[in-house]
Amino acid sequence: MDPEFFDAGQPCAVLTTQPLDRALDYLAPEGGCWLGAYVEVPLGPRRVMGVVWGPAAGDYDRAKLRAIHRVLDVPPMREELRTFIIKAADYTLTPLPAMLRLATRAPGLTDPPATRRILRLGQGEPDRMTDARQRVLEVMHEYGGLAFTQRELADMAGVTTSVIKGLVKQGALTEEDAPKDLPFPHLDPAHKGKDLTEDQAAAASSLAKGINSGLYGTTLLKGVTGSGKTEVYLEAVAACLRQGRQALVLLPEIALTSEFLTRLEARFGGRPAEWHSGVTMTDRRRTWKMVAEGGAQVVVGARSALFLPFRDLGLIVVDEEHDTSYKQEDGVLYNARDMAVLRASLCSARVVLASATPSLESWANAEARKYERLNLTSRFGASVMPEMRAIDMRAETLAASTWISPTLRKAVEERMALGQQSLLFLNRRGYAPVTICRACGHQVACPHCDARMVEHRFLKRLMCHQCGETIPMPEACPSCHVEGKLAPVGPGVERLAEEAAKVFPEARIAVLSSDLFGSARALKEEIKRIADGAADIVIGTQMVAKGHNFPLLTLVGVIDADLGLQGSDLRAAERTFQLMRQVAGRAGRTELKGLALLQTFQPEHPVLRAILSGDEEGFWQAEAAERQAAGVPPYGRMVGIIVSSEELNDAFDVANQLTRHSEVLREAGAQVYGPAPAPIARIRGRHRVRLLVKSPKGVFLQKVIALWVRNVRVRNTTRLTIDIDPQNFL
Ligand SMILES: [Zn+2]
Ligand SMILES: [Zn+2]
């Protein structure tokens, strides 16, 4: 049994957030320290943060050990979180320090507790409005009265602190001393909830029963759009609060957070804590500390909230569990949905996976009885899932470079005559996906990536959607230098909007694409305007499929229903099915009956047939059977390996070595495919070569992979990325 406390001068091991391959031995400081204590330790000339991880390894001369500099004023990391970090690191083959960094990402943790001067909006008006002053006040308004320090506010508004001092002098801002890190308002589970239908009440009570058991368990809560999923899982949150435990609600998109917080406030009479990249430094630290001390009962956040130091986590809700944004694709590669299940299993918590269109993984786990499954069938209010119909594009006559078929056009005109809204859906940002030179046939590509530049006419620039590089729209062809011959090919939402303006000259048209709005607030306002009826036609990308409610919307026209079916991604069918159903679900969420029209060149495609018939279970069963036959997830295991380097030969060299030394994989029953250039063969100037490892389900693949890659010498210039359960194959 490991000691729980280390007396002053006793050696102990400290895991730091620095990229070292193991914990280091230190001496406990004056006053001693607990196992799990957050500490500052000397490392070379620096001081770094770490956590007391266990007894000392003891392989160092004790006389040479340095002492822990100090213990931070926060509760020690609980054993449950330490175990979670270790298991998550093992599962994703991530070095422990990188995992620990995820769990200590709170700025100013090492600062001493004290009060701080904060700024709030005041009553006064500035005598003279300058651009800089305007920006400061806009930031304050944008964050709805949250308090900032002078430095934070100056940084966010991009002004000097003297601008802020001026505003304070004139009373437009007020200064006050606030204790750092106050607890969040108390949330009351008995505060008025919405009346539930019979169906919803039954689901809510089943979830509550699970929570009251105090045991781990995962429930797939499946309900069509508008079935009241949120109301149901908020009752699970209420049950968790009644047990005196904490709840975490994960959302797929920050833009949805503020609307959701308002909903929670209405249900529980107080605003819960927030955790995502849009939260200020000060508020992040407050959330982190209050979660640890029990001063935050509910956290609403992004996937990284899974690594917060909860004192007693009783429930994790993963809303829209199928959403691909739960998979972190940068740095530490983990899937928040799977990690939520892991963490809950370690702290006897419940998991609720909520979705209208679950992932095949969760569906299969429910079929195999690993997860409980609850279905909400009746839609809230009078409406039902909209009627779905295909428009067979082979039978439609369209002019060149137009995408709205006569049939779709007629349907939109009918809605306009009734004063109802239509949504034209196209999952492509920008004006045109390809820019081609009519003189020489050259397609403008990103200089750093194997990707075409996408025209964004609104910005008058070409942009690479892989690395973000943008260049002004060139006059002359970069290849043959002939002027005036560059032409767009194919549609993006901006181009579709242009066509819609010609086809429907009377219509008020709004475009919803994530890149067209400067801030989350501007986007939210536009969504509200549209919901209030300020547009006849909404043109949108994938973001409109998520959660936003437009009561007047009764028609959805999918411009290219075949788009997602191209390519070799093993989840192409699943994703298209989910996306089409979500988008269609935007139509007719109220009393008005909805219609969804899917423009397609292959209406007989099995996926489209399943979408049109609405036979969900049939689709899942067919898809499951196909994956089972192919031995791919969720019925087999996959690991993606990307070797990248500025030199193509170096990348192939390492990849070939891996293939040559793959006996250890074959012995374990796994196969390796490749190497081959990745579908996107170059990103940010680095060539990318892919290997794919496949194995039957029972194999503990991580262990084998770790052994395998250890045998291969990787040069400094070459990077090896291991992606367990890859979600994309680019
Ligand atoms: Zn690029
Ligand atoms: Zn040219």
Smallest-distance ligand from the CA of 439:
2
The crossing angle, in degrees rounded to 10, of helices 572-584 and 616-630 is 170
Given a cut of 50, whether residue 472 has pLDDT beyond it is yes
Quick count: other Cβ atoms within 10 Å of Cβ 407?
Answer: 17
What span, in angstroms and rounded, lies between the C-alpha atoms of 605 and 569? Answer: 16
232 & 362 share domain: yes
pLDDT attached to residue 12: 95
**Any idea what the CATH number is for the domain that residue 86 is in?**
3.40.1440.60
What span, in angstroms and rounded, lies between the C-alpha atoms of 258 and 146? Answer: 13
Q: How large is the average pLDDT for residues 193-214?
A: 91
**What tens digit of pLDDT does each residue of 394-416 get?**
999 999 999 999 999 999 999 99
614 & 705 share domain: no
CA of 476 to the centre of ligand 2 (A): 8
Q: How large is the average pLDDT for residues 698-710?
A: 88
β-strands 686-696, 671-683 pairing: antiparallel
- CB-side neighbour CA atoms (13 Å) of 36: 17
138 & 9 share domain: no
Residue by residue, what is the 3-state secondary structure of 296-359?
A: CCEEEECHHHHHCCCCCEEEEEEECCCCHHHECCCCCCCEHHHHHHHHHHHCCCEEEEEECCCC
Given a cut of 50, whether residue 382 has pLDDT beyond it is no
Of 281, 13, 19, 332, nearest to 146 by C-alpha is 281
CA of 712 to the centre of ligand 1 (A): 30
Given a cut of 90, whether residue 681 has pLDDT beyond it is no
368 & 223 share domain: yes
Beta bridge partners of 422: 537, 555
CA of 500 to the centre of ligand 2 (A): 30
CA of 475 to the centre of ligand 2 (A): 11
**How many domains, in total, are found in the chain?**
5
- Beta-carbon neighbours within 5 Å of ion ligand 2: 437, 439-440, 442, 477, 479-480
Domain membership flag for residue 185: no
Q: How large is the average pLDDT for residues 559-567?
A: 83
CA of 445 to the centre of ligand 1 (A): 8
Annotated binding site for Zn(2+): 437, 440, 446, 449, 464, 467, 477, 480
**What tens digit of pLDDT does each residue of 123-132 get?**
877 888 888 8
617 & 644 share domain: no
Domain membership flag for residue 630: no
Q: How confident is the model at residue 383 (pLDDT cuts 50, 70, 90)?
A: very low
pLDDT attached to residue 524: 78
Smallest-distance ligand from the CA of 485:
2
Q: How large is the average pLDDT for residues 319-326?
A: 90
Mark 617-636 as b/e (b = at least 16 C-beta within 10 Å).
eebbeebbeebeeeeebbbb
Tell me which of 50, 85, 104 is where a domain ends. Answer: 104
Burial of 67 from C-beta contacts in 10 A (0-12 / 13-18 / 19+): middle
Q: How large is the average pLDDT for residues 204-226?
A: 92
Q: How large is the average pLDDT for residues 164-176?
A: 86
CA of 511 to the centre of ligand 2 (A): 32
**What tens digit of pLDDT does each residue of 421-457 get?**
999 999 888 999 999 999 999 999 988 888 889 999 8
Q: Which helix (H) or strand (E) holds 386?
A: none
The pTM assigned to this predicted structure is: 0.82
Annotated binding site: 437, 440, 446, 449, 464, 467, 477, 480
Q: Which domain holds residue 531?
A: 387-433+490-624
Smallest-distance ligand from the CA of 477:
2
CA of 441 to the centre of ligand 2 (A): 6
CA of 490 to the centre of ligand 1 (A): 20
Smallest-distance ligand from the CA of 478:
2
Tell me which of 584, 601, 624 is where a domain ends. Answer: 624
Smallest-distance ligand from the CA of 450:
1
Q: How large is the average pLDDT for residues 641-659?
A: 92
**Any idea what the CATH number is for the domain that residue 653 is in?**
3.30.70.600
148 & 210 share domain: no
CA of 646 to the centre of ligand 1 (A): 14
Smallest-distance ligand from the CA of 448:
1
- CB-side neighbour CA atoms (13 Å) of 99: 22
261 & 362 share domain: yes
pLDDT attached to residue 192: 80
Q: How confident is the model at residue 613 (pLDDT cuts 50, 70, 90)?
A: confident
What span, in angstroms and rounded, lies between the C-alpha atoms of 433 and 496? Answer: 12
Domain membership flag for residue 27: yes
- 8 Å CB contact between 210 and 217: yes
Phi, then psi, of 142 in degrees rounded to 5? -60, -35
Tell me which of 104, 125, 147 is where a domain ends. Answer: 104
Residues sharing a CB contact under 8 Å with residue 169, sequence separation 6 or more, in sequence order: none
CA of 470 to the centre of ligand 1 (A): 8
**Any idea what the CATH number is for the domain that residue 517 is in?**
3.40.50.300
Single-letter amino acid, residue 218: T
What span, in angstroms and rounded, lies between the C-alpha atoms of 607 and 76? Answer: 51
Please state the length of the chain.
Answer: 730
Domain membership flag for residue 456: no
CA of 19 to the centre of ligand 1 (A): 29
680 & 562 share domain: no
133 & 214 share domain: no
Smallest-distance ligand from the CA of 686:
1
Domain membership flag for residue 184: no
Given a cut of 60, whether residue 381 has pLDDT beyond it is no
Smallest-distance ligand from the CA of 479:
2
Burial of 37 from C-beta contacts in 10 A (0-12 / 13-18 / 19+): buried
Domain membership flag for residue 165: yes
Our measurement of the distance from residue 610's CA atom to the centroid of its chain's CA atoms, rounded to an integer in Å, reads 28
What span, in angstroms and rounded, lies between the C-alpha atoms of 233 and 319? Answer: 9
- 8 Å CB contact between 346 and 90: no
CA of 442 to the centre of ligand 2 (A): 5
- Residue 473, both tokens: 């729209």
719 & 587 share domain: no
283 & 428 share domain: no
**First-to-final CA distance of the chain:** 46
What span, in angstroms and rounded, lies between the C-alpha atoms of 31 and 34? Answer: 10
Q: How confident is the model at residue 279 (pLDDT cuts 50, 70, 90)?
A: confident
Inter-CA distances, 621 with 225, 368, 618, 694, Å: 21, 13, 5, 22
Domain membership flag for residue 458: no
Residue by residue, what is the 3-state secondary structure of 605-633?
A: CHHHHHHHHCCHHHHHHHHHHHHHHHCCC
Beta bridge partners of 640: 692, 723
**What tens digit of pLDDT does each residue of 518-530 get?**
676 777 788 889 8
What's the farthest any 2 CA atoms get from each other in the chain?
86
Smallest-distance ligand from the CA of 481:
2
Q: Give the three-class secondary structure for 532.
A: coil
Our measurement of the distance from residue 431's CA atom to the centroid of its chain's CA atoms, rounded to an integer in Å, reads 25
Least confident range from 154-168, 260-274, 420-434, 497-511: namely: 154-168
- 8 Å CB contact between 387 and 595: yes
CA of 579 to the centre of ligand 1 (A): 26
Q: How large is the average pLDDT for residues 614-634?
A: 87
**Any idea what the CATH number is for the domain that residue 135 is in?**
1.10.10
CA of 563 to the centre of ligand 2 (A): 28
pLDDT attached to residue 53: 95
CA of 726 to the centre of ligand 1 (A): 22
CA of 680 to the centre of ligand 1 (A): 10
CA of 449 to the centre of ligand 1 (A): 4
What span, in angstroms and rounded, lies between the C-alpha atoms of 85 and 97? Answer: 9
81 & 214 share domain: no
Q: How large is the average pLDDT for residues 327-343?
A: 90
Mean pLDDT of the chain: 88
What span, in angstroms and rounded, lies between the C-alpha atoms of 482 and 268? Answer: 65
**What tens digit of pLDDT does each residue of 281-297 get?**
888 888 999 999 999 99
Domain membership flag for residue 153: yes
What span, in angstroms and rounded, lies between the C-alpha atoms of 710 and 692? Answer: 17
